[in-house]
Structure 1
């Protein structure tokens, strides 16, 4: 399969849009997994089930964040060697990435199954929801191999410059997930377990279909056992680039898990409201997260090709697009937060608890447009240590202590708790912008 998706040529704006729009659609589709799970549970099951799925989803998102961080390392390396037109090293990078992820998947499965109860206890999962949350995460953890494989293949394709096929695979998985949710929950009465089975099963089918399709299309890498080799030098490079990204994703997710543990102590209504808000966070921030990941691939290819100015132009365009798109959700949250909550659950207590939280936390939709895109650009340059330190500082030194202070001194005020995320993101955007501008100036001086 000849690569006709080089990101180093053509109009900057057109390339960014044509590459990032399928990326955005794929991410929207993936986000529908958790949203559909929560909707179906909210429609056909009691509030305790909603709290169980929202808490369980927060736990499984740690795995997804860890995996997506490592796979982004694969995207960056594949993008770099694709930009350098080094097909042999590109193929070896793909083989190394997939082999490493097979091992990581098996280790994660064992570790998370052993830690599932302590993790749920640490999150202060409500007693009424505990057993159901445990059931949910157990099934999801058994499907970690498919989560790793599914994300790794998509990330490799994006690094190669192809964002359309991952979108098709995500669409297949989402359709299967929706069908599974309705069948397992509504018609078979499996409740929380049904939503977990639908998610894992849909990703498994999508992963297998993607492998069959790519082999038939003669992709640069052939999915055969003999090609799954770990090349030490590439594995080290993957670790250097990917582990910091994975670690920062986990620390950010940890800070939001801490928020979940705090709001779980405020009762089922508050826990459900914040759980619903977390679903909107995913959708509202999708333009920023999608463009950030797209920028990582675009920047990696252009740096591999020595086109530094083009990478900077892509960053500026990405921030503009992300901000405009995220503004739509921000305005909705400010004007009519009750309708946002009502999409998932019509319980008056949940709506009342959620309105002030939605209005304050929605400012984060705008702030992360800058943070994510700037980090995506830096990741594409393999400056992943900086983004790791920055994100860990924001999560551990700012967000978590501020949540603790808010809970300690004004526990009933969800508006204050919700305002913490945008305040931290705004601060991070400011100092990251300064760092990026300095790097761009250094690039200009190095060329003279």
Structure 2
């Protein structure tokens, strides 16, 4: 990749809309699929070679680490939006300043976050009502994973920058390397060395470290637009303000959604090991089933940012319609599987008859969310690309704090053993959010059309 060439090479503002969306989204889907394999492989290996207490520990611990990852990816998405906008404008110096500011801020934030989370590990696990037999195991898992926050920040920052720049293929390759190492490490440290939950956690942070370092070395060798050296790591305060304005609302909305699911975990943990394990397995399928929507949403953010930066809003809207169609078709396959044979879904991760029996009603109900969140994610991805992150933040916080958490509390209080009703809450809230986001988009489109009409007169 020659310096200065990549802006035109990875231009998302020209060519056939469907082709650009498809070719740009596929590496997103592959990267997110590979990343989802992290937790899935961890749970698979633990389920095969360790006790139900270990399964519950990794399930709960993964929920905790996911909220950290969601917060980080939300913040880094601000970089995708700004780099995408400046790429559309062909403003090379602004791109470099944004990259330098992003990497510097995230390096400092990672160190602070690591210390804070290590101190907060026990209180968080207590808040989640982690079952007593699994508590020490869950603590071991999250503390080791927290030591890898620096690498999570580094990898996600670099990937977000590349995607905003129009390159979704290289982040996929970096995460593929990491996942391969993680799988090897899981089997070597759990089955081979007998380290249990500590083994899967060590494999995770080790593979993430290698991925981040490999990305930096590769990009420097290929003369990327930004050279990864200490003298280039400095903060441009104007860009820092832009990143905060765009990135913090996205990070907050991601955290609120994760908090609502953490609350669900705390509720089901009170119901015992089998319910906790069943919901933990369901959370893995949430990641896979919603992966097409998540990937398309992230791709739409970069595509929309570049096209709005280039003054092509109609092209961005066409990309949204194409993305919605593709993501819904993909997510519906998981929904059909959950409706027709939920027991086979659960058996992939655990063949314990009690976990399967407990999980079937929850899977059948919660799987409707696979369809509902597809609508929400894609529309939010488009709006984020337009830098309308305040709306998506308010919408997500409203859905999580005002609707999902209170409803889970009410249902679990009156019918605590009814996993069908508990599982129905997420899709009901998501469908409602999709409805009012659609209305907002229609209003926004009409307002934009009137503004363009007035500017031509």
TM-score normalised by the chain length of structure 1: 1.00
What CA deviation, in whole Å up to 9, does each residue of 1:198-228 have, x standing for no partner? Answer: 1100010000000000000000000011111
**What secondary structure does 2:23 align onto?**
helix
Which residue of 2 is the match for residue 383 of structure 1? 388
Which residue of 2 is the match for residue 292 of structure 1? 297
Which residue of 1 is the match for residue 254 of structure 2? 249
* 1:356 maps onto 2:354 in alignment: no
Moved over 2 A (4+): none
Deviation at 1:163, TM superposition (A): 0.2
What CA deviation, in whole Å up to 9, does each residue of 1:247-277 have, x standing for no partner? Answer: 1100110000000000000000000000000
Deviation at 1:103, TM superposition (A): 1.0
The correspondence of residues 251-266 of structure 1 with structure 2, limited to 5 A, is 251-266=256-271
**What secondary structure does 2:349 align onto?**
coil
Which residue of 2 is the match for residue 71 of structure 1? 76
Which residue of 1 is the match for residue 342 of structure 2? 337
Give the Cα separation in 2 of the matches to 1:312 and 1:107.
Answer: 39
Instruction: Tell whether the 8 Å contact from 1:308 to 1:443 is kept in structure 2 after alignment.
Output: no
Deviation at 1:339, TM superposition (A): 0.3
Deviation at 1:245, TM superposition (A): 0.4
The correspondence of residues 78-93 of structure 1 with structure 2, limited to 5 A, is 78-93=83-98
Deviation at 1:442, TM superposition (A): 1.6
Instruction: Tell whether the 8 Å contact from 1:312 to 1:440 is kept in structure 2 after alignment.
Output: no
Give the Cα separation in 2 of the matches to 1:169 and 1:323.
Answer: 28
Deviation at 1:447, TM superposition (A): 1.4
Give the Cα separation in 2 of the matches to 1:154 and 1:233.
Answer: 22
Which residue of 2 is the match for residue 427 of structure 1? 432
What CA deviation, in whole Å up to 9, does each residue of 1:127-163 have, x standing for no partner? Answer: 0000000000000101100000011101110000000
The correspondence of residues 160-199 of structure 1 with structure 2, limited to 5 A, is 160-199=165-204
Which residue of 2 is the match for residue 157 of structure 1? 162
Instruction: Tell whether the 8 Å contact from 1:123 to 1:257 is kept in structure 2 after alignment.
Output: yes
Which residue of 1 is the match for residue 210 of structure 2? 205
Deviation at 1:440, TM superposition (A): 1.4
Which residue of 1 is the match for residue 322 of structure 2? 317
Give the Cα separation in 1 of the matches to 2:282 and 2:219.
Answer: 37
Deviation at 1:438, TM superposition (A): 1.2
Which residue of 2 is the match for residue 392 of structure 1? 397
Deviation at 1:5, TM superposition (A): 1.1
Show structure 1 runs of 5+ residues with no match: none
* 1:60 maps onto 2:71 in alignment: no
Deviation at 1:445, TM superposition (A): 1.5
Which residue of 2 is the match for residue 44 of structure 1? 49
Which residue of 2 is the match for residue 281 of structure 1? 286
Give the Cα separation in 2 of the matches to 1:159 and 1:227.
Answer: 19
Give the Cα separation in 2 of the matches to 1:248 and 1:114.
Answer: 24
What CA deviation, in whole Å up to 9, does each residue of 1:1-32 have, x standing for no partner? Answer: 32111110000000000000100000000000
**What secondary structure does 1:447 align onto?**
helix
What CA deviation, in whole Å up to 9, does each residue of 1:346-389 have, x standing for no partner? Answer: 00000000000000000000011110000001100001010000
Aligned residues: 448
Show structure 2 runs of 5+ residues with no match: none
Which residue of 1 is the match for residue 446 of structure 2? 441
Matching residue within 146, 158, 178 for 2:151: 146
